[in-house]
Amino acid sequence: MKKKEEKTEESISIGLLDILKNKYAKSNFSTANSIQSLQRFRSGIAGIDCLLGGGWPVGRVVELAGKESAGKSAISIRACLHEVENKYTALYQDLEQTVTREYLEYMGVSGEVAERFICNVPTYGEEAVDIGLVAAADETVRLIVTDSVPFMMPKTVLDKLGDDSAYNPSAMSQAAMFNRLKQNIVSGLTYSNSCWLFINQIRDNTNSVYGGVHSPGGHTLAHLYSIRLHITHTSLEADKPGLIKSHIKSIKNKTFTPGLGTEIPIYKGRVQLGQSLVIEAVKVGLINKSGSWYSLDNEFREQQGIQLSKLGQGDEKAGKVLEDSPETYKLLYDEVLKTHIDKYCLKLGGDT
């Protein structure tokens, strides 16, 4: 009798699914075991990948927000460079019109990879979204960056600003634009191979007696993000001018554990990849720190068959030693992500 009851319940479930599909043909119905798993691709920056949960989530929207000179553009361009170096295409929407050829060459975007690094300056907000969706439909495009949200002004606002009559646009006009376009963005990314990164600013909240900060775009855009990374503050290194450490916190993450933080070292505008890897490896115990000296964990070295042991004094020098040893760098990067995900991943079921 028990087997017969289970079969009956299954047939009822399948019957209901068929009824729903026939009645609501435009809606997407599926059972839980047929939903596709979330795919990711790496940013090339260890600290960012650890916050994200292994890399950029495919088909999702991510926010990177912070105050001026916090490293937002440096991080996003470095992430785009990682994609074009791996034979994919990246789209960088420069609404602020601050990117120059010399700057990109300085960041490493030159030669063959520059052909796959596409820059675009949209005229207004709706055009930026349309161009991003066209790029997302291309299978070779992995990362789309829009820099930045406050410059995505609606076309109606720009048209009225050109009139002789006085016009004072409000923040609600931009929020209304995103409210109209949110479904287009979600639908366009659902079956794509891309992740869309919106760079945003953090501004003081002047509309409240309690102060605080907010990011432009309205509540609709905030809810649209699957992940929100905020640069809370930056610290300067007194003994080395030009070096800053951007402290980033994931205030929202619907694909991994939220509330995690990291610091990304940036020297003269360039993200220090090796130094970022050292910082994350120390957190999970794959690199030992004794005073200011760094060395690889002995157990990890023996498991991977790595000859390198001592990395040097200071995380900067340790990072350069790793960058000069590509095989060790890759092995450590893979193990750092694996260990980090095992440590902070939400474990459902079993012992808690």
- Report whether 152 contacts 177 (CB < 8 A): yes
Name the DSSP class of 332.
Answer: H
Per-residue pLDDT, 138: 97
pLDDT tens for each residue of 71-90: 999 999 999 999 999 999 99
Tell me which of 13 and 306 has the higher pLDDT.
306
How far apart, in Å, are the Cα atoms of 226 and each of 55, 58, 135, 186, 234?
Answer: 13, 11, 20, 11, 24
What percent of the chain is predicted at pLDDT more than 90? Answer: 71
Q: Provide the b/e sequence for 159-183 (b: ≥16 CB within 10 Å).
A: eeeeeeeeeeeeeeebbebbeebbe
pLDDT at 348: 40
Query: Taking all residues of the chain, what is their mean pLDDT, rounded to a whole number?
Result: 89
Single out the residue of 229, 61, 246, 253 nearest to residue 143, CA to CA. 61
Domain spans, the chain: 37-268, 272-346
Tokens of 288: 């030992």
What number is the average pLDDT over the span 85-97? 97
- Span 37-268: which CATH code? 3.40.50.300
Side chain identity at residue 251, one-letter code: I
- Return the pLDDT at 215: 73
- Condensed to tens digits (0 to 9), the pLDDT of residues 279-306 reads 999 999 999 999 999 999 999 999 999 9
pLDDT given at position 27: 80
Mean predicted confidence (pLDDT) in 97-101: 94
> Does CATH place domain 272-346 in 3.10.20.740?
no
Asked whether this chain's domains 37-268 and 272-346 adopt the same fold, the reply is: no
